[in-house]
Amino acid sequence: MSLRHLNISMLRAFVALSEEHSFSRAAACIGMSQSGVSHAIREFEEAVGAKLLARTRGTVALTAAGERVLAEARQVLGALERICAEGQAATGMTGTVRIGTVPSVNLYMAPLVAKIVQRDFPGIECVLLEGTDQEVCRWVQAGVVDLGITAETADDILSDPWLTDEMLLITPPGHPLAAVEVLQLPALQGMPLIMSASGCERVISEYLADAGVNANVILRVRDMSALITMVSSGVGVSIVPELCVKRAEAQVAVKRFAPGLARELRLLYRRGGLSPAIDMTRQIFASATALLPD
């Protein structure tokens, strides 16, 4: 492979990995999958003809050749990003995009999308607002936000299917329910339950009622990070969207229900055409679900 095969993704992956010393953290920083980072690094090393990184004991360090290449890579990457910014300004790919999401999306996916937008389209500024399903839908209708991610929709706006978000049980580590092999909703009868008040309370209550479970709700918490902390501290158990536990599995035990419970999230936007910046952000949101860890 020769230098003509170099591309900006290779440079981004190399610089991110040299700073984060971890494939998973580098992938999160630049909005790539972990396998994508590995592939980009392998191709970059082949292109320059040298081993640039050494993998030892769960970390990644620069080799002597990598140290010399890093400074040049940063300069080239900066120049390429400035060139892209100039081109985007000429095509209207600038401005503010207001995005309304439910808390589960705001915990993981919205920051990831904002990173990708900032990386690829530095002329676009993302403003993130958090609300319940109903609030986000109303914000899109009223023009408070340009895009919305929510389980609600309405006839006067457009919406695209976005993600099937499974509802999971989280418990304190070592809780008896964490050891149940086939978990069904009736197992929650009488259990102290912390209810999410961030928008999915209605769907959770419907699931429990349909299963004949008389929920012992001891707390209602809107802030999802606070809810997860309470569960990890042993206050109770909770049912939360899978998106909420992508970064919390070290704090709590996570169990799937049988049969599974899920809600359908949709990407909302207004009728009448979108600006180039809003439409590009919409496209990035639509494709970002492929970057979710398994």
Residue-wise pLDDT tens digits, 244-281: 887 677 789 999 998 888 889 999 999 988 889 999 99
pTM: 0.70
Give residue for tokens 């009223």: 142
What pLDDT score does 219 carry? 93
pLDDT over threshold 70, residue 78: yes
Instruction: Kindly list the domain boundaries of the chain, sorted by start residue.
Output: 3-90, 95-163+268-291, 166-263
Q: Could you check whether 3-90 and 166-263 share the same CATH topology?
A: no
**Residue 157, number of CB atoms within 10 A of its CB:** 15
Residue-wise pLDDT tens digits, 86-141: 776 667 678 899 999 998 888 888 888 888 888 888 889 999 999 888 999 999 99
Residue range 48-71: average pLDDT? Answer: 86
Chain centre to alpha carbon of residue 173: 24
Q: Which fold has domain 95-163+268-291?
A: D-Maltodextrin-Binding Protein; domain 2 (3.40.190)
What pLDDT score does 235 carry? 94
Distance CA 260, CA 182 (A): 11
Question: In 166-291, which ranges are continuous DSSP H helix?
Answer: 201-210, 224-232, 276-288
What pLDDT score does 217 carry? 93
Residue-wise pLDDT tens digits, 143-182: 999 999 999 999 999 999 999 989 999 999 889 998 888 8
Residue range 3-31: average pLDDT? Answer: 82
Which among 51, 40, 31, 246 has a CA at the least distance from the CA of 117?
A: 31
Architecture per CATH, 3-90: Orthogonal Bundle (1.10)
Residues 6 or more apart from 90 whose CB is under 8 A from it? Answer: none
Architecture per CATH, 166-263: 3-Layer(aba) Sandwich (3.40)
What pLDDT score does 3 carry? 61
What pLDDT score does 224 carry? 84
